[in-house]
Amino acid sequence: MTQNKTSGYYRNEFNKIAWLYDPLIRALAFFFGGERKIRKRVLNLLSIKSGDKVLDAACGTGTSALIMAEMVGADGEVVGIDLSPNMLAVSKAKLIKIAKSKVKSQNISFLCANTEDISYPDNYFDKAHISLALHEMIHEGRVNTLREIHRVLKPSGIFVVADFGNPGGLFARFLFKILMLVETDTARDMMKRGLLNEIKDAGFIVEEVIILFRGIAQIIVATKS
């Protein structure tokens, strides 16, 4: 496994909770319209076409990567990378289960790798995606990750990020404060510095920002300049 340059964002807890991760996500997403509906809304912003090469950074248990594998078709390629072997084991188990029906196993791969050091050449991917992972990284880790994604993305390639936003309204801020009680200092640091600023500093052009759940979450659509 590639060693994290900053050792700040990978937490062994993700290995410990891999078996519980999907049920937790489904339970949380239920209150916001359902997991697949939310994921499809995010992924549709990538404008994936048949034959595209797509990177799913910090892919977790691979749910989004498997959806994208359907979207790119047999001539496309999806690469999911994550630092948690146990998360990737869940991803590969899902792939084996559905490979005979919706997804051809040869168009998707899961790699145990560091998003700060992506082992692909410059300008390789047409699209890139990362969800609910940047807030787990220390500042340097976020900077390294965003720069690496920028490097491997083709010019004018689309990059979609889903992560915490800036909640508005008393109730949303109240819920967000509760959420922050179980989050790490890295999440608060990202909020303070501003994710939009970090994405722009990495060389991306921000095309659109979609506010979700009264600002608790946001989807950022950017392109490589």
Domain count within the chain: 1
Cα–Cα distance for residue pair 16/219, rounded to 1 Å: 28
How far apart CA 152 and CA 119 sit, in angstroms, is 9
Q: What is the CATH number of the domain that holds 62?
A: 3.40.50.150
pTM to 2 decimal places: 0.84
User: Strand 125-131 vs strand 53-57: parallel, antiparallel, or unpaired?
Assistant: parallel
Instruction: Tell me whether residue 79 is in a domain.
Output: yes
Distance of alpha carbon 72 from alpha carbon 32, whole angstroms: 27
> Which residue, 131, 133, 214, is CA-closest to 166?
214
- Residue reference for tokens 């792939």: 95
Domain assignment present for residue 144? The answer is yes
Does residue 159 fall inside a structural domain?
yes
Lowest mean pLDDT across 20-24, 78-82, 91-95: 20-24
Domain assignment of residue 174, yes or no: yes
Q: Is 214 helix (H, G, I), strand (E, B) or coil?
A: helix
Task: Compute the distance between CA of residue 201 and CA of residue 139 in angstroms, rounded to an integer.
Answer: 12
**Residue 140 located in a structural domain:** yes
Q: What are the tens digits of pLDDT across the range 115-140?
A: 999 999 999 999 999 998 999 899 99
Residue 154 domain-assigned? yes
**Each residue of 144-179: pLDDT tens digit?**
999 999 999 999 999 999 998 777 777 666 676 666
- pLDDT tens for residues 176-222? 666 666 667 888 899 899 999 999 999 999 999 998 776 678 999 99
Q: If pLDDT is split at 50, 70 and 90, which confidence band does 3 have?
A: very low
**Position 8 in a domain:** no
Cβ(87)–Cβ(121) below 8 Å: no
In a domain, 216, yes or no: yes
Q: How far apart are the first and last CA of the chain?
A: 31
Residues of the domain holding 150: 13-224
